Amino acid sequence: MYVFCSDPKKQTLSKVENVIAILTEYDALKKRLAKLTTVPPECTYANQRALDEMIFRKLLFRLRRESSGGYQAMLAKRGIGYHHSAMSSKQKQFVEMLFRMGYIRVVTATSTLALGINMPCKSVVFLQDSVYLDALNFRQMSGRAGRRGQDLIGNVFFYGIPLPKVQKLMKSNVPELRGQFPLSITLVLRLMLLTAKAEDKADAKAKVYK
């Protein structure tokens, strides 16, 4: 009967060598991946000088739990963004902030970008016809063309839209907007209560009954 006993020192050295080899291979793959994922300056619309790298990483960190956050981050590094109703509020804010800062230069959007969002740009392009493209949406979206203090004029382009539809959009009047302030007895009583409990009675009455 023969018993073979290996040297424990040699086993320890072999394990250390394996770990060193794995770490070396990992570092080499990491450097190669960084080189492959680096976007060349001639292949991006992003304005690298408009935003600090640390701030950009903080904004990317907010998308870590979003379903399409990785795809959105990849496009953002190339200066491209998208904006539609199916996106979460964090994803929309990410695009809006980078566009206002000047980092993202191209944004594709639906009518969600028409109302209530401050995103002025140099040019607006309408691609293809849609039943949702009416006079109000047209005025709201085309009104973004021309940045105050940066552009003398703004550009509006039409692509794939029939000429009669274009003429109708440009000539039609904007529908009259009417507010729907929810005036009720409960609201009036609350305002009167706030006026009664205010420290400056005269100032409170002036604001309520204005």
Only one residue has tokens 């000088």, namely 49
Q: What is the pLDDT of residue 163?
A: 92
Would 75 be classed as within a structural domain? Answer: yes
107: which strand partners? 81
Q: What is the pLDDT of residue 81?
A: 92
158: which strand partners? 126
- CATH number for the domain harbouring residue 119: 3.40.50.300
Would 208 be classed as within a structural domain? Answer: no
Helix, strand, coil percentages (3-state) for the chain, rounded to 5, are: 50, 10, 40
Residue 130, SS3? coil
- pLDDT, tens digit only, all 210 positions of the chain: 554 455 555 556 577 778 888 888 888 888 887 777 676 767 778 888 888 888 888 888 888 888 888 889 888 888 999 998 888 888 988 998 899 888 999 999 888 877 667 788 889 999 888 888 888 888 888 888 887 777 888 899 999 999 999 999 988 887 776 766 777 788 778 777 777 776 666 665 555 555
Q: What is the pLDDT of residue 12?
A: 63
Q: What is the pLDDT of residue 162?
A: 92
Would 6 be classed as within a structural domain? Answer: no
Residue 126 belongs to what domain range? 42-171
Comparing CA positions, the residue from 55, 47, 109, 53 lying closest to residue 79 is 47
DSSP letters of 49-104?
GGS-HHHHHHHHHTTTTSTTHHHHHHHHTTTEEEE-TTS-HHHHHHHHHHHHHTS-
Residue 112, SS3? helix
Q: What is the pLDDT of residue 4?
A: 46
HSE-up of 53 (CA within 13 Å, CB side)? 0
Q: Which helix (H) or strand (E) holds 126?
A: strand 123-127
**Quick count: other Cβ atoms within 10 Å of Cβ 19?**
10
> How far is it, in rounded angstroms, from Cα 179 to Cα 183?
11
CB contact at 8 A, 145 and 154: yes
Would 7 be classed as within a structural domain? Answer: no
Would 101 be classed as within a structural domain? Answer: yes
Residue 207, SS3? helix
Say how many domains are in the chain: 1
Would 47 be classed as within a structural domain? Answer: yes
- pTM beyond 0.85: the answer is no
Taking each helix axis from N to C end, the angle separating 89-101 and 53-61, rounded to the nearest 10 degrees, works out to 170
Would 1 be classed as within a structural domain? Answer: no
Would 194 be classed as within a structural domain? Answer: no
